[in-house]
Structure 1
Amino acid sequence: MAPDSPVERAAVVARLRAAGCVWAEDEARLLVEAATGPEMLAGLVDRRVAGEPLEYLLGWAEFCGERIVVEPGVFVPRARTALLVTAAAAVTGPAAAVVELCCGTGALTRALARRLVAPRLLAAVDLDPAAVSCARRNLADLAVPVFAGDLFDPLPVAWRGNLDLVVANAPYVPTGELTLLPAESRRYEAPVALDGGSNGLAVLRRIAVAALSWLAPGGHLVVEVGAVQVDELRAVLTEIGLVAEVIRDEALDATAMTARRPTGVAGRRPSGMAGRRREN
């Protein structure tokens, strides 16, 4: 029986629905399209029923109209993160110098390359070697460099104080809440892309503190954050001298924060942050 026959597709839909896949019809269509024969389709369906993320099976995810390559273990771009693209584009002028931290697949950078007006610099950074490899595949045709390292550490020192936009979908799930994530995230995505430390803000605090010296006056930091973490993160941003704003999209169930470095304000390190490294 051909993998694209109505009977075969109906059987795939039934298996996926029984396994709890909410969008069983859509997933069945994509899996059927990805399979080159019945045996491959059966294997893909078995893996999906076992909980493996659909994006790993297909090898790609759709994000902001782009087909993004997704490799096993790398954080899968979420639809809600489109809010970061909108927020970043709204605060960034033409010919901007832009860096994405915790880039994962590089999906944000790829989307921003389309949205921003003639950016003079685009670059991405990740600590995870698998993510760096994946992002390089996604950004190769744009000639965007992807640096391997911890946050700002691998960037050229000449960029310090000259970035117009720093954007990051950093991990912000509190360590104690990782067990509450969907099984496909817990089992298949790298913990370093999920674990935000004891209160979820360990990495975001480090980004905010360091961003102050990397942003140009008037430059912006744009990050995704949990809705319940807004007040605490805003306090951190305000304490170091950044001007914070919260952006909420109910349709996407997403929360972003922008933080502007005022002209002529050097900022300061919040208490207890001296020498602190990543906690997760």
Structure 2
Amino acid sequence: MGKPASSLALEPAGPLWAGTVSRLRAAGCVFAEDEAELLFATAQDAGELNAMIERRAGGLPIEHVVGWAAFAGLRVAVDAGVFVPRRRTEFLVEQAVGLAGPGALCVDLCCGSGAAGAVLLSAVPGAEVYASDIEPAAVRCARRNIEPRGGRVFEGDLFAPLPAGLRGRVEVLVANVPYVPTEDIGLLPPEAREHEPLVALDGGSDGLDVLRRVAAEAAGWLAPGGRLLVETSEQQAARAVEAVAGHGLAPRVTTSEELYATVVVATRP
């Protein structure tokens, strides 16, 4: 991570910098220096910096503290209470961008902050992007990231709020569904458990409940040759493939060792 220009006009060498890093380390922040850079770049004065350090030390995700996340080359707004886009999800979006030709009609389901939709709009010339999420806070945040770039965001459950005219026309359908098994929610870091909505994390008993619901409807929304892309875990991949194949889609699995990411890409014949 390069050092951003500091709003405080302070070099990362003085006592305020050292004190910030020390306080973050004491709070258990593994990447204290990187986080200090973000805080220095965002805070307008020492008082605001101190308040931000307090919020971070109290367990608030750094993205919620500064109000944004770096994702696939973009600065994506991330409001408090909204799921923070993970770096591994950049692999999912990279696959989607690679499959989307100029002017592609794309849908971002379970859009959260709208990071995937924002990248598609930025990286694919003329892309037409529609997004949806059931969480009102996520929808408000996604609208800030997607609509200024020309996309549209809807509030509701999966496909339900999308315009009916999209049925049978979607070329790229990105669904970053929740896939943590319910019994594993308690094993997540406190940042996720306490500050992100449960609906964005809990995938049901085996983590695949929402994926199955998406797979059951996807073929009706995809254009012939259109693709559904979903992120899952390595351990869940075989069952995820079975779920989408059972609804008439032809799946394949692609992975990134670097990002520890697993994506199922399923094509409508």
Shorter-chain TM-score: which interval? over 0.9
Deviations 1:198-237 (A, max 9, x none): 1100101100111011101110000110111000011111
Which residue is equivalent to 2:103? 95
Structure 1 position 184 matched with structure 2 position 217: no
The TM-score normalised by the length of structure 2 is: 0.93
TM-fit CA distance, 1:102: 0.4
Give 3-state SS (helix, strand or coil) of 1:78's partner: coil
Letter in 1 for 2:260: D
Structure 1 position 116 matched with structure 2 position 116: no
TM-fit CA distance, 1:86: 1.5
Structure 1 position 162 matched with structure 2 position 196: no
CA distance, structure 2, for counterparts of residue 57 and residue 134 of structure 1: 15
Which residue is equivalent to 1:208? 215
Give 3-state SS (helix, strand or coil) of 1:246's partner: strand
Deviations 1:35-85 (A, max 9, x none): 222222221111111111001110111001100011000001111101111
Structure 1 position 65 matched with structure 2 position 73: yes
Gaps of 5+ in 2: 1-7
The number of residue pairs the alignment matches comes to 260
The TM-score normalised by the length of structure 1 is: 0.90
Which residue is equivalent to 1:22? 30
CA contact (8 A) 2:77 2:141 kept: yes
TM-fit CA distance, 1:177: 0.2
Deviations 1:251-276 (A, max 9, x none): 111111100000xxxxxxxxxxxxxx
Give 3-state SS (helix, strand or coil) of 1:90's partner: helix
CA distance, structure 2, for counterparts of residue 151 and residue 159 of structure 1: 13
Task: Spell out the pairing of 1:120-135 with structure 2 (5 A cutoff).
Answer: 121-135=128-142
CA distance, structure 2, for counterparts of residue 253 and residue 230 of structure 1: 13
CA contact (8 A) 1:173 1:196 kept: yes
TM-fit CA distance, 1:21: 1.1
Letter in 2 for 1:180: L
CA contact (8 A) 1:132 1:148 kept: yes
TM-fit CA distance, 1:17: 1.2
Task: Spell out the pairing of 1:65-84 with structure 2 (5 A cutoff).
Answer: 65-84=73-92
Percent identity among equivalent residues? 48
2:19 alignment partner, one of 11, 17, 22: 11
Give 3-state SS (helix, strand or coil) of 1:222's partner: strand
TM-fit CA distance, 1:89: 2.1
TM-fit CA distance, 1:3: 8.5
1:217 alignment partner, one of 224, 227, 251: 224
CA contact (8 A) 1:3 1:9 kept: no
